[in-house]
């Protein structure tokens, strides 16, 4: 089965971890720290895990309670531990290769963040960091580390991928009908309601959803935890809708997607909808023109990059010491 392509908005949400570097360090009272994992001598603390998962956990409170809530929180934290382990592994490899980041890259990225977060005021930005229990030096160090990881991923995983014409033809012959416009659509949805939620709250919820989907978590599980729609009890399953009479913004959003793919968010007046195209019925394979060839090439390219990432992380886990305690 083809791996689910990661859409650009999901990758952007995952990359938004740069902004999370400035997230408040103060969490719930009574919180105790500990070691979640050790990667090549670097310690990942439980505090850092909870710091990253805090927005998601806040969304779980009120929807779940007791053992169910603890189970959901445990799942989210374990997933984050694996993401942080991957991050540390890639950085360990970056250091071993002896690569140095250009100072201009670090300074430019920091300038962009200060402009975005504090209107360009360094004093206001530093005051915010101090109020949150951090410092500019700590922030810069974490930013440098994250940029280093991104640079290595660009080199190893995101470098140009060659897709051969024969591969495009083989995909079309095997799954071409999936790329046509079906008459019936089976969809899942994660709904982020706008009512009573300011832009910051909306952005935080979208970021939390994007991070979990980018990490490969099951769409239905994320819908159960974070969707504002009653369908969350069914994992966001909307069932089948008719392409001709259903919501046309939904139909347009999933047009051309392969089964399993997640569409760009639909930003409506009442909510933001994140749709997953489960499958279609009644479609016919469109003509294999240049436009369709490009679409298939992009799908295959995303598959190959995903395979590269998994293979790269697999090698690093064998190369460097990793021990988890969480």
Asked if residue 294 belongs to a domain, the reply is no
Same domain, 39 and 83: yes
Same domain, 215 and 95: no
Number of domains forming the structure of the chain:
2
Residue 28 pLDDT > 50, yes or no? no
Would you state the structure tokens that stand for residue 28, as one six-digit string?
């719930």
Kindly indicate the confidence band of residue 101, based on its pLDDT and cuts at 50, 70 and 90. very high
What is the mean predicted confidence (pLDDT) over 314-322? Answer: 96
How far, in Å, are 33, 61, 213, 313 from residue 260 at the CA level? 38, 29, 12, 23
Tell me, rounded to whole angstroms, the distance of Cα 60 from its chain centroid.
Answer: 18
Same domain, 53 and 131: yes
| Domain containing residue 50: CATH number | 1.10.4030.10
Same domain, 130 and 229: no
Same domain, 154 and 93: yes
- Domain residues for the domain of 195 are 180-281
Gap between the Cα atoms of 150 and 42, Å rounded: 19
Would you state the structure tokens that stand for residue 310, as one six-digit string?
């998994």
- pLDDT score of 110: 93
| Domain containing residue 247: CATH number | 3.10.50.40
Question: 39 and 320 in contact (C-beta within 8 Å)?
Answer: yes
Same domain, 24 and 144: yes
Residues 10-21 have pLDDT tens digits of 555 544 444 443
Asked if residue 273 belongs to a domain, the reply is yes
- pLDDT score of 237: 93
Same domain, 74 and 13: yes
Same domain, 89 and 196: no
Asked if residue 291 belongs to a domain, the reply is no
What is the mean predicted confidence (pLDDT) over 279-297? Answer: 82
> Lowest mean pLDDT: which of 156-160, 187-191, 213-217, 222-226?
213-217
Same domain, 75 and 18: yes
Gap between the Cα atoms of 171 and 177, Å rounded: 10
Closest residue by Cα to residue 136 from 122, 148, 118: 122
Same domain, 255 and 317: no
Asked if residue 112 belongs to a domain, the reply is yes
Residue 1 pLDDT > 50, yes or no? no
Same domain, 13 and 82: yes
Closest residue by Cα to residue 237 from 224, 247, 225, 253: 224
What is the mean predicted confidence (pLDDT) over 286-294? Answer: 86
Same domain, 154 and 192: no
Residues 166-201 have pLDDT tens digits of 999 999 888 777 676 677 889 999 999 887 677 777
Asked if residue 129 belongs to a domain, the reply is yes
Asked if residue 287 belongs to a domain, the reply is no
Residue with tokens 């779980």: 60
Bridge partners of 322, per DSSP, are: 39
Asked if residue 165 belongs to a domain, the reply is no
- pLDDT score of 32: 52
Q: DSSP string covering 71-123, please?
A: HHHHHHHHHHHHHHHHHHHHHHHHHHTT----HHHHHHHHHHHHHHHHTT-HH
Question: 76 and 104 in contact (C-beta within 8 Å)?
Answer: no
Closest residue by Cα to residue 99 from 139, 21, 153, 161: 153
């Amino acid at each position: 089965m083809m791996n689910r392509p990661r859409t650009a908005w999901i990758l952007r949400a995952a990359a938004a971890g740069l902004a999370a570097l400035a997230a408040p360090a103060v969490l719930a009272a009574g919180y105790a720290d500990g070691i979640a994992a050790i990667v090549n001598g670097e310690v990942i603390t439980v505090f850092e895990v909870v710091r990253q998962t805090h927005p998601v956990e806040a969304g779980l409170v009120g929807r779940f309670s007791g053992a169910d809530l603890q189970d959901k929180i445990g799942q989210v934290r374990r997933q984050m531990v694996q993401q942080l382990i991957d991050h540390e592994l890639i950085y360990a490899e970056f250091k071993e290769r002896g690569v140095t980041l250009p100072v201009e890259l670090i300074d430019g990225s920091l300038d962009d963040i200060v402009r975005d977060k504090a209107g360009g005021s360094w004093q206001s930005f530093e005051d915010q960091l101090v109020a949150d229990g951090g410092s500019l030096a700590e922030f810069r160090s974490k930013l440098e580390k994250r940029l280093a990881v991104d640079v290595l991923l660009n080199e190893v995983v995101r470098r140009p991928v060659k897709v051969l014409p024969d591969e495009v033809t083989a995909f079309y012959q095997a799954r071409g009908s999936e790329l046509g416009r079906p008459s019936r659509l089976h969809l899942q949805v994660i709904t982020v309601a706008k009512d009573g939620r300011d832009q910051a709250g909306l952005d935080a919820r979208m970021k939390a959803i994007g991070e979990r989907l980018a990490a490969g978590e099951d769409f239905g599980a994320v819908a159960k935890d974070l969707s504002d729609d009653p369908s969350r009890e069914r994992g966001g399953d909307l069932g089948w809708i008719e392409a001709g009479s259903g919501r046309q913004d939904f139909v347009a959003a999933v047009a051309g997607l392969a089964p399993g793919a997640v569409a760009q968010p639909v930003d409506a007046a009442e909510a933001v909808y994140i749709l997953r195209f489960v499958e279609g019925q009644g479609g016919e394979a469109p003509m294999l023109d240049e436009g369709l060839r490009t679409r298939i090439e992009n799908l295959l390219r995303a598959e190959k990059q995903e395979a590269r990432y998994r293979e790269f992380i697999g090698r690093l886990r064998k190369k460097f010491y990793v021990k988890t305690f969480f």
